[in-house]
Structure 1
C-alpha cells in the first residue's frame, strides 16, 4: 500500500511517502490510522488526534470506515482551510 503524507503530517512523520504492508486486521482507514500511530514517535505525534486527519483513498476523500485493499494509494492530510 502506498502512503502519502502532506503538510505538517509529513514534517512530523519525517517523510512524504512510503510503501507499507499493514497487517491483515488493518482493513479500514480508521484501523490504518490507528496502526500507523504505533510505528514510532513521529507517527504518534502526527496521528495523536485522528479527528483532524483527512484521508483520501485512490484520490477520493473517505471516512474512517472505508475499506482498504492491497495496492490502494492512501493520502493523509491535515484539515484544509481557505483564505
Structure 2
C-alpha cells in the first residue's frame, strides 16, 4: 500500500493528514494518481492545480513520475507567508 500525505489546505479538504491506499493497477505515475485521488477523494479539483507539488519518497518530482505501492507520496500546496 502506498502512503499518501496531504499538507496544508489539502489535509483540511480531505479531513486527514494521510492515508494508506492500495493503488489500482492503472495508477502508475503521479499524474494519474493526482487525477484519481481528486476524483475519488472529493478534492473538487484542488489536486489538479499546477501550484500543488508532489514529492515521492521525500523528493520533489515533476508529473508524470513513476510510483508504486511501496512509495510515500506527498501533495504540497503552495505556502504563503508574510
Alignment of 1:20-59 (within 5 A): 20-41=21-42, 43-47=43-47, 49-59=48-58
Task: Give the TM-score, by structure 1 length.
Answer: 0.86
In 1, the alpha carbon distance for the partners of 2:71 and 2:12 equals 23
Gaps of 5+ in 1: none
Runs of 4 or more, structure 1, over 3 Å off, are 80-83
Gaps of 5+ in 2: none
Kindly tell me the number of residue pairs found equivalent between the two proteins.
Answer: 81
Q: Is the 8 A contact 2:23 2:68 kept in 1?
A: no
Task: Give the TM-score, by structure 2 length.
Answer: 0.87
What residue in structure 1 maps to residue 19 of structure 2? Answer: 18
- Secondary structure, counterpart of 2:74 in structure 1: strand
What residue in structure 2 maps to residue 3 of structure 1? Answer: 4
What residue in structure 1 maps to residue 73 of structure 2? Answer: 74
Give the aligned CA root-mean-square deviation in angstroms: 1.6
In 1, the alpha carbon distance for the partners of 2:46 and 2:68 equals 23
